[in-house]
A = this chain, B = another copy of it.
Amino acid sequence: MQRTRRFWGWGFEDAAPTPAEERSLAARIAPFLPIAETTMAPPTPDEIHLTRPRLEAPASIASWCETDDLARAGHTYGKSFRDVLRALERRWERPPDVVASPPDEAGVVAVLDWASQAGAVVIPYGGGSSVVGGVEAPPDDDRPVISLDLRRLDRVLEVDVDSRAALIEGGIFGPALEAQLRPHGLTLRHFPQSFEVSSLGGWIATRSGGHFATLHTHIDDFVESIRAVTPAGISQTRRLPGSGAGPSPDRLLIGSEGILGVITAAWMRLQDRPTFRASAVAQFTSFEDGARAARALGQSGLWPTNCRLLDAGEAMVTGAGSHHLLLLGFESADHPVDDWLARAVELARDFGGVVAPREDLVRDASATWRSAFLRAPYIRDSLVRLGLISETFETAITWDRFEPFVARVRHATESALSDVGAWPGVVTCRLTHVYPDGAAPYFTVLAPGDGPRRLDQWRTVKAAVMDAIDAGGGTVTHHHAVGRDHRSGYDRERPDLFAAQLRAAKGVVDPAGLLNPGVLIDP
């Protein structure tokens, strides 16, 4: 059964909020935030009118190359606030000329060969769920554009149960990946918020963050080896559990956002499907106390699978109560984890946490939040249609600077919203991942937009946020990736010499600069 993607916004048509849900959402928001008088209607396919494609696929690959307006519009943007707003405004800027969806790796090679000959840009496209401008055409580049959609590379090719690893094609989405691993009792257990509409190759290319809150926070740790197609040939690393042989070749591809090659397959480290679980929720009267508890947990060596701290605003917005909440969870396929949880609860109490005494409460708050988490991007689209600025951004910082950093970023966000006339709004914070040496704060912004000025408002706020994160010493992105939206922050963060090295490394595999030019580095 092929589900239909929403070409203008997040996810699938069949999972979109119903009109009743949208009315209830509007009623829930209205007391806090002024919503627009007219809800923007989603665009329909017949409203798309693109300029003619500048490329024609060679006959040998034409059968899987699309040039119709709907396919091209659906591959013009990712799914950031900016992307959804542009689509709602019926603006399809710089659409790809062709959407190529090769059936196999040879097809990927054929696309790169064709692009080389045609002087075209190639934008690797997985689930298209980028929220950072990672899959759109470069703004200052006149070359024709091919969106290289990898969705047909969707198989688990080989499972090695002994090593708990599998060779998996790069274009596979989360649900299909898990479905193919399930019969083996195995799971990748990597659950980014985009899980349903993002691909393994995309996760690797963007250093995706999953739902292990500690220890294995990024996809990086699960990569055993990578196979990638480049204009200069195919690169394949060796399957190894660990190595000390030179700098890791995989780590250069991990996070390369399509500029160094197209990830066609990877051997991934898997988990046994957990059979033991234990969880709890601790309530705190201050976010800072909750963060101190999270720090103690991050440094305890208990490695909770869940250790997410929601501030009171976040908990309220998602309907999970009115306290600062620390969601704690442990799981294992090997042993009961009640002792682990008991010690974690002790630590939470050491910092003033009040632990919900009843199992059902625990399940409730935690389940409510989890369902809201997966649903959030759909709701985001509805909020955009209601005229709001709806944005999330995230970072990471060491513990020594944590409190002033969060305060600074929060204040900068609120000030910027105020400066652009989008205040009062709501800025909430949660910790998505916790490390021994720091944490990843994740901010959600909801603010009233000013009609046609909304995109400019967003742009100004985004720049102010990046300034604050940079000045405070955080990272421009903990797991959303750099794309085009975070370039200015990234340029300040990475060493100049490293950028020059990246450029040189790109020159080796992509001398003509076909691959996703302008993401991470110029050109």
Contacts and interface: CB of A to CB of B under 8 A. Distances in A.
A362 interface: no
Interface string A474-501: 1111111110001000100111111011
A507 B163 CA distance: 38
A206 to B, nearest CB: 7
A217 B272 CA distance: 21
B251 A256 contact: no
Contact of A497 (B209, B217, B232, B437): B232
B435 A244 contact: no
B493 A245 contact: yes
A436 B249 contact: no
Interface in A265-285: 269, 272
A343 B496 CA distance: 49
A300 interface: yes
B301 A332 contact: yes
Interface stretch (A35-43, A235-243, A373-381): A235-243
A195 interface: no
A173 B232 CA distance: 43
A90 B428 CA distance: 70
Contacts of A235: 495, 497-498
A300 B435 CA distance: 21
B478 A335 contact: no
B490 A509 contact: no
**Residue of A333, A402, A473, A505 most packed against chain B (CB within 10 A):** A505
Contacts of A339: 339
A411 B248 CA distance: 29
A142 interface: no
Contact of A208 (B217, B244, B347): B244
A400 interface: yes
A164 to B, nearest CB: 6
A457 interface: no
B335 A247 contact: no
A440 B206 CA distance: 29
Contacts of A237: 494-495, 498
Given A437-B224, A507-B504, A252 B244 contact: no
**Residue of A224, A241, A244, A399 most packed against chain B (CB within 10 A):** A244
Contacts of A440: 241-242
Interface in A330-366: 332-335, 339, 343, 347
A208 B244 CA distance: 7
B502 A246 contact: yes
Contacts of A290: none
A500 B476 CA distance: 29
B507 A299 contact: no
A396 B243 CA distance: 7
A333 B439 CA distance: 20
Contact of A163 (B224, B399, B478): B399
A233 interface: yes
Contacts of A436: 163-164, 241, 269
**Residue of A207, A477, A520 most packed against chain B (CB within 10 A):** A207
Interface string A120-159: 0000000000000000000000000000000000000000
A497 to B, nearest CB: 5
Interface string A454-482: 00000000000000000001111111111
A499 B471 CA distance: 36
A165 interface: yes
A263 interface: no
Contacts of A230: 497
A242 B398 contact: no
A498 B232 CA distance: 11
Interface string A148-189: 000000000000101111000000000000000000000000
Interface string A437-460: 111100000000000000000000
20 contacts: A160-B399, A160-B400, A163-B399, A164-B436, A235-B495, A237-B495, A241-B399, A241-B438, A242-B435, A244-B480, A245-B476, A245-B481, A247-B253, A247-B255, A247-B502, A248-B255, A269-B436, A269-B437, A301-B334, A501-B504
| 9 closest Cβ pairs, A-B complex | A241-B438, A504-B504, A207-B244, A241-B435, A251-B251, A501-B505, A243-B475, A249-B498, A163-B437
